[in-house]
Structure 1
């Protein structure tokens, strides 16, 4: 039997670009305009096997590319000319601020191979129906027949687990085929009439790995070529081959078997491993070379245990309660919450324990039949069927648990489904848990994963010892040598801006002590911009009733303090002739559903005689469904600013908590907390302040992996600076297909276009900005080109439609946080936890050898090790100086409106995250608490990556009659 299947990845099919004759108006809103020049990757499915050599201009082969090649490397891989507009690394490093010694978790490659290495392309054929199953391919590759034919153990081979292999041995023929019968090798010949288990592996010699070409590239003598990419790809796989044979491998991370587990609850556990990745860098000696990034990997895995126990842990109940859940769900199984929740077990590998030799299976899904209802042809009498329960009782004397669903397996026997009772199955060890963690599991995972810099550095060093480079047979065989000592660089701590608050503040600017600590208090300070255009006039407070809801006296005491503190910060609350400044207060009942908000709206409006402009809701816990139901009504139906509070905070009524609430309320009513004034930019770029500039942020968030993610919406959020000081941002949100990574043309034209028009009318005095700084989050390196070719192109089209004769000059920066680079400052040079100080900038040791990128740590980590943001500039029409751009991004981290700390990411992108998350409440579906969702087939978006064609409905439009979209409604 095949072992447990792993989640496969497969590069998406190349978009044909053919037109069906429909007009752009009738085109589906998720459809990307054509033709497209950049092929896309989803990163979730593996490439299909074909009998052709690796060709990096073919989208399905791009999956083989290593990370960190930069935009130029990806253009070259696709067979496209590298654009002359690609910004190169500035000739001079940033010299502003203070120097600071930083140790990086990167380790320089000191010796690369010189001997000849042969690259082979692999393909497969035979009795299997699917040659993308990694477990099958591994069995074929590891079979004694194949090993002997390849010259094992004298010849060492490196295999990418799919369609590439390398060896220093050249096979006798350029085209070699090896046939293996896995059944025969395992000592159980194929039964007559059964499908065989014979497979042929084809090896085709495609090229010799060219190490000299890589050296010439790094020395700047030649440009990117597929040869360079081949070589880096080979070296990256050499680094992984040895560890992959000793440890459990997940992508570029390795987990040692027997490592101490940490129970996350719900049948899931976590344990630590080591991440390692090779890439070209500008090293700490300013040489263009290769380096290995080593970091801690935190993995989540299914607990190896009986399936019945795993189900009990997942649902927090025993067998009788699980049976009751099933009995309740069976009435509408297709739409039931239980069926949806059980889908997290899909593709989990299990072993059946009812036979002396356990057999491995892979779960397909739980079905709406118990062991008495699920039947199959009786092996002793093919003309009859037998139930699973009866078969197990007569054959194995096992009494199956009844009243619970049976499991259908992925494997079929004689083309018929295989059903198994849950009580004879155990979950196999070392299987990654891919589904989104629950709130409790997430909280436990954070406790497990968060470590201070000292502990993390010790873990990195333990990882280096685990990888054991000096004794790795593959590194030794191919002549690859890595320095076990880390790279040490001279970083800069950038000068801090002057952070200003409103006039009348006790301390109108932050003190140097606050700036160094990276956090401050609002006491005695007024907002830099208050709600003068939208004073609080008619406002209401609803305390949702239930266990833990606050008594009326506590609510009244909280809002007396709120009024006092909000006004102390400069917030405006208009006194009503009859009611004064006191809000309407009353209870609310969740059983009222959407009418809960309507009742609060009506009663508040009736009290004041005008529509409310601010509503508060006090809830008893962090229930996301309740939160989204409230936000959906406030944003969509009434167009009113709203603030949700937790009852425990209302009852404690801490002044600091109230100040935090005041910051959010102020932003929702048109204000901003503080403004960062640069002391440095006027010196290095004197004209900068006089150039009309727009800052744009964008993020696309996808459904969490696991149950129902194949039918769920992705959300695109775009933010645009709404004032000359870049303190406030408008935001527009919309669905973006299912796992479509690029913001679609229709979303940019409708939503960015709307905000661009607003900017021109309100800030540009009828003119477009001269510069646009576009900061894009959440795209992988392989998609950088598509940001330019599609999103920036569409934004320029928007300005053309708005009648701009001279288009703004775009500067595009990608902000990446999913990386493994960490900073470890010299003793006494970091903060009290050993993290870097805010403003720590690193431009060497871990950066690209030629392109313009840098790592910036602009925040103070509350706990754990700070993660810097990787910024890469991929277009610079606006001709920003490198130091100007770095300082601009750093200084704006102090302007985030709902925090009294600098934040890690530029606020334009942070706000896009918040807006994308809020947009989940705007879905056009049944009430969010019902758990029902419908999906229909439709043509696939060209930039999508899902396997199915899924219709994603647009969001419900926000009610903007009272100008909710003009303020920061998403804060």
Structure 2
């Protein structure tokens, strides 16, 4: 909820928010309205739309703190808080066993009670772009500014952009300060060069007091922009001193000079500390403020010569790089070299050929070397001089040839600046933003993963680094943080009764195995098997490579074992009158491209005189391109279920590995591994089982940052439960523009609508569900409202289009993984690694003061410290009881079809992850074969993060002639 129920009506007046497209407080936020509070694009909102940056407006959204909750974001946007927003349940969950948990949160012992003055900052002068944080930092830290603002006597807090706060009000509310950075740096501006003079405009805008926040936390007032201002200020006060001593990346701090861990490719990692202040329901059941402290793992460019970095990125020698460059010149714009060099964009470098290093920022590598790149000769402006000749004449340096020069972001006299790569060095402590390679990712995991005791030691070290007791800014503003962590009484929820199929030697899992979160499939039969679709016409292709291809006898032995174990789990393999149960087997050649799969398909079909219903491929390694090529042909061209195996596992033929493969094969043919039966929900919600319920999961995955991400597609995946046990799920995936976070209206109409109709026909007996549980993954707090106002509204429209007289009641839960809350059980109360047991539920100490959220750890971490999932209920039309919803989510983690452990995330969302990742194989721009059989689909135009028009082609559709869309094809 937004605050105490009686005072919610005291929110911002309607007149303040009418211009922002708000609606009345009583309006259902999922219903369609003519005026929308959030802009839409291609059906739904593009999250990268920029709001006006004007800090004199109370509802400005720039740089406000996290963890405000949905009501806080409604207030920040000037929109009336809807009455449908679920409030924190009056009673906490009392089921299961109590468990003492230490959290990595630290309560604020004393908040400021003085008045703080907030100032708005603006800049003008010689610079063309005043959004560059490096320039703004130089201006702010200049002696001219410090003197004018009365520092160090008066300690100012700055947000590194447009806001600043002071404990004392300046004599003038409107102050302009002139700064000459060239003079301050001891290098006067050269005649004829562009100056480096700036003016910072400091304007008083408002008082930040703590009365409103205290009243809100004490239940005496609702959310207000004053509360948000105060939390924003406190969050920046917490970071000010640390940002001056350490390298700051958002809310994380990294010690300069700390020991680095080499990830290869010119990238290194090191650990830091994360700290964030937020309002919480604390461990003493008080609404207060708390600071979340955790380990931060950062990746940074190694500080070294740019030439060395380029060579490391491409893992080659300098002569090899020159060959690559010459080859790329044939078609530079389409070359992979140009694309991969984009990862250096915006990297800061310094010159090595001058006494006083000059700092530059890389814009791009260009298709010119030092002899080809020219600029106006400083000695004779009527002539141009090459970069090579200039450096030889002025510095007596022979620059490297046959390698690209670097164009910088800064221009001189409107001319681009070109620099040779061999006179540049990458500056220290710069974040590496591009996606890591597989090898780098593996190294990063080894570096980042730590056991709970080690992670807690790192948290304590982080608290010592932050050193709150000695922080001059905290002391100056009267903020005190308790250095002792929060300790809460958590609950370990009761495990469900996990059941397997009839004929199993052990039809259920022992209680001890359920609590430990791991069991075996030995002598157990799958709970669901599609008897109408046994393996009957199938083939096995072993892809031939020079090394790593299993010999034919090993493959035959593996297939024999697979049949034996699959049938042992209840799976069906039909015997052919002539060939028995032995599949077609043959080799495959990657040089054939997509035609390799066609040859396997044809050979298998000819053998059985019927279309294949299952194909198996054995590959030599984890090559994602080979995998996607196979999946694209099987899924799109032939609509057949397929399984890819690694040769080394085929060679070892481990029964446990084969059982894992069997689980996936069974799901792809229409089955499910096990079913979780609740022992608790029938007691706390007796009518629950009789209410027709549909579970929906959704996730939107975006391209990794770095090269070509501005033109790449995002993928929206939606899953819908396909049986009454919620064990199987249909999935539909489609491109979703470029970095568009909300699932577009067209995607919901086409794909959710299709599955909703399927559900009504096959499960609902022609009727819609009475309630829908929609679990949405991957959205930030600022986008919660858009999920309701756009995605849920569009889903309801789908049911209307299907002719439903009564629209299902929606309950919407956001599942969040990207947070820094961790559980640390008392010694001996967790698992063998010190992690919490599956089912550990935390409702206090780190949760929102008023809204309905909780943290649930439903799995056992194989490595490192377990990360709980943060679930927040933002709509509850279905009137789920809190204990029922928590238990339902936990119990379903035990019936994930391809695992013999409970999983961390509700399977509906987990499956959406898998489907979105699998859909990358269905992209339309890489043909299955030679491309002759393909036609280009109509492209959708969206505006992506690059602010340029981006054409995103839809995925190629999965044919359903053989029922592939009706099973879990993505597993």
Bin for the TM-score computed over the shorter chain:
over 0.9
Worse overlay, 34-43 or 796-805: 34-43
Deviations 1:697-744 (A, max 9, x none): 000000000100000000000000000000000000000000000000
* Secondary structure at the counterpart of residue 113 of structure 1: coil
- 5 Å matches for 1:224-623? 224-546=223-545, 547-623=547-623
Worse overlay, 114-123 or 836-845: 114-123
Matched, 1:824 2:812: no
- 5 Å matches for 1:714-753? 714-753=714-753
Deviations 1:278-300 (A, max 9, x none): 00000000000000000000000
In 2, Cα distance between the equivalents of 1:935 and 1:376?
45
In 1, Cα distance between the equivalents of 2:188 and 2:946?
39
Shift of 1:49: 5.1
Shift of 1:847: 0.1
Q: Could you say which residue in structure 2 is the equivalent of 1:21?
A: none
With over 3 angstroms needed to count, the CA separation of the structure-2 counterparts of 1:935 and 1:659, relative to structure 1, is closer
Q: Could you say which residue in structure 1 is the equivalent of 2:13?
A: none
Preserved CA contact (<8 Å) 1:533 1:670? no
Worse overlay, 386-395 or 535-544: 386-395
Preserved CA contact (<8 Å) 1:159 1:241? yes
Q: Could you say which residue in structure 1 is the equivalent of 2:875?
A: 875
Deviations 1:100-153 (A, max 9, x none): 000000000010011111011111112211111111111111111111111111
- 5 Å matches for 1:887-902? 887-902=887-902
In 2, Cα distance between the equivalents of 1:245 and 1:935?
53
Worse overlay, 681-690 or 388-397: 388-397
Aligned residues: 935
Matched, 1:152 2:151: yes
Shift of 1:45: 9.4
Matched, 1:108 2:107: yes
Preserved CA contact (<8 Å) 2:595 2:929? no
Preserved CA contact (<8 Å) 2:363 2:406? yes
Q: Could you say which residue in structure 1 is the equivalent of 2:9?
A: none
Preserved CA contact (<8 Å) 1:17 1:34? no
In 1, Cα distance between the equivalents of 2:536 and 2:942?
48
Q: Could you say which residue in structure 2 is the equivalent of 1:849?
A: 849
* Secondary structure at the counterpart of residue 300 of structure 2: strand
With over 3 angstroms needed to count, the CA separation of the structure-2 counterparts of 1:691 and 1:433, relative to structure 1, is same
Preserved CA contact (<8 Å) 2:594 2:929? no
Q: Could you say which residue in structure 2 is the equivalent of 1:636?
A: 636
Deviations 1:297-325 (A, max 9, x none): 00000000011111111111110111111
Please report the RMSD computed on the Cα atoms of aligned residues, expressed in angstroms. Answer: 2.0
Equivalent position to 1:53, from 53, 56, 79 = 56
Matched, 1:907 2:907: yes
Matched, 1:194 2:197: no
With over 3 angstroms needed to count, the CA separation of the structure-2 counterparts of 1:184 and 1:33, relative to structure 1, is farther
Matched, 1:141 2:144: no
In 2, Cα distance between the equivalents of 1:808 and 1:465?
52
Preserved CA contact (<8 Å) 1:376 1:387? yes
Shift of 1:54: 4.1
Deviations 1:593-643 (A, max 9, x none): 110110000000000000001011111111111111111111110000011
* Secondary structure at the counterpart of residue 510 of structure 1: coil
Deviations 1:786-823 (A, max 9, x none): 00000000000000000011100000000000000000
Matched, 1:167 2:166: yes
Preserved CA contact (<8 Å) 1:43 1:63? no
In 1, Cα distance between the equivalents of 2:512 and 2:624?
38
In 1, Cα distance between the equivalents of 2:349 and 2:50?
23
- Unaligned runs of 5+ residues in structure 1 are 1-13, 19-31
Q: Could you say which residue in structure 1 is the equivalent of 2:654?
A: 654
In 2, Cα distance between the equivalents of 1:420 and 1:198?
25
Preserved CA contact (<8 Å) 1:53 1:204? no
* Secondary structure at the counterpart of residue 602 of structure 2: helix
With over 3 angstroms needed to count, the CA separation of the structure-2 counterparts of 1:220 and 1:866, relative to structure 1, is same
Q: Which runs of 4+ in 1 moved over 3 A?
A: 32-35, 39-50, 927-931, 934-941
Preserved CA contact (<8 Å) 2:941 2:952? no
Shift of 1:958: 0.9
In 2, Cα distance between the equivalents of 1:138 and 1:566?
64
Q: Could you say which residue in structure 1 is the equivalent of 2:178?
A: 179
Shift of 1:62: 1.0
Preserved CA contact (<8 Å) 1:935 1:952? no
Shift of 1:190: 2.7
In 2, Cα distance between the equivalents of 1:294 and 1:324?
49
In 1, Cα distance between the equivalents of 2:762 and 2:536?
25
With over 3 angstroms needed to count, the CA separation of the structure-2 counterparts of 1:938 and 1:131, relative to structure 1, is farther
Preserved CA contact (<8 Å) 1:729 1:908? yes
In 1, Cα distance between the equivalents of 2:643 and 2:129?
53
Shift of 1:930: 12
In 2, Cα distance between the equivalents of 1:385 and 1:181?
31
Shift of 1:868: 0.1
Shift of 1:393: 2.0
Deviations 1:374-396 (A, max 9, x none): 12222222222222222222222
In 1, Cα distance between the equivalents of 2:152 and 2:869?
45
In 1, Cα distance between the equivalents of 2:249 and 2:911?
32
* Secondary structure at the counterpart of residue 626 of structure 2: helix
In 1, Cα distance between the equivalents of 2:81 and 2:99?
35
Q: Could you say which residue in structure 2 is the equivalent of 1:777?
A: 777
Q: Could you say which residue in structure 2 is the equivalent of 1:24?
A: none
With over 3 angstroms needed to count, the CA separation of the structure-2 counterparts of 1:482 and 1:270, relative to structure 1, is same
* Secondary structure at the counterpart of residue 666 of structure 1: helix
Preserved CA contact (<8 Å) 2:85 2:874? yes
Preserved CA contact (<8 Å) 1:272 1:297? yes
* Secondary structure at the counterpart of residue 431 of structure 2: coil
In 1, Cα distance between the equivalents of 2:296 and 2:489?
27
In 2, Cα distance between the equivalents of 1:107 and 1:262?
29
Preserved CA contact (<8 Å) 1:347 1:364? yes
In 2, Cα distance between the equivalents of 1:43 and 1:143?
35
Preserved CA contact (<8 Å) 1:936 1:950? no
Shift of 1:35: 4.7
* Secondary structure at the counterpart of residue 280 of structure 2: strand
Preserved CA contact (<8 Å) 1:840 1:856? yes
In 2, Cα distance between the equivalents of 1:898 and 1:788?
31
* Secondary structure at the counterpart of residue 359 of structure 2: strand
Preserved CA contact (<8 Å) 2:266 2:309? yes
In 2, Cα distance between the equivalents of 1:792 and 1:516?
36
Worse overlay, 944-953 or 886-895: 944-953
Q: Could you say which residue in structure 2 is the equivalent of 1:684?
A: 684
Shift of 1:174: 1.9
Q: Could you say which residue in structure 2 is the equivalent of 1:8?
A: none
* Secondary structure at the counterpart of residue 64 of structure 1: coil
Shift of 1:939: 5.5
In 2, Cα distance between the equivalents of 1:760 and 1:699?
23
Shift of 1:265: 0.6
TM-score by length of 1: 0.94
Q: Could you say which residue in structure 1 is the equivalent of 2:222?
A: 223
With over 3 angstroms needed to count, the CA separation of the structure-2 counterparts of 1:111 and 1:304, relative to structure 1, is same
In 1, Cα distance between the equivalents of 2:124 and 2:46?
26
- Unaligned runs of 5+ residues in structure 2 are 1-16, 22-31
Q: Could you say which residue in structure 1 is the equivalent of 2:786?
A: 786
* Secondary structure at the counterpart of residue 121 of structure 2: strand
With over 3 angstroms needed to count, the CA separation of the structure-2 counterparts of 1:130 and 1:930, relative to structure 1, is farther
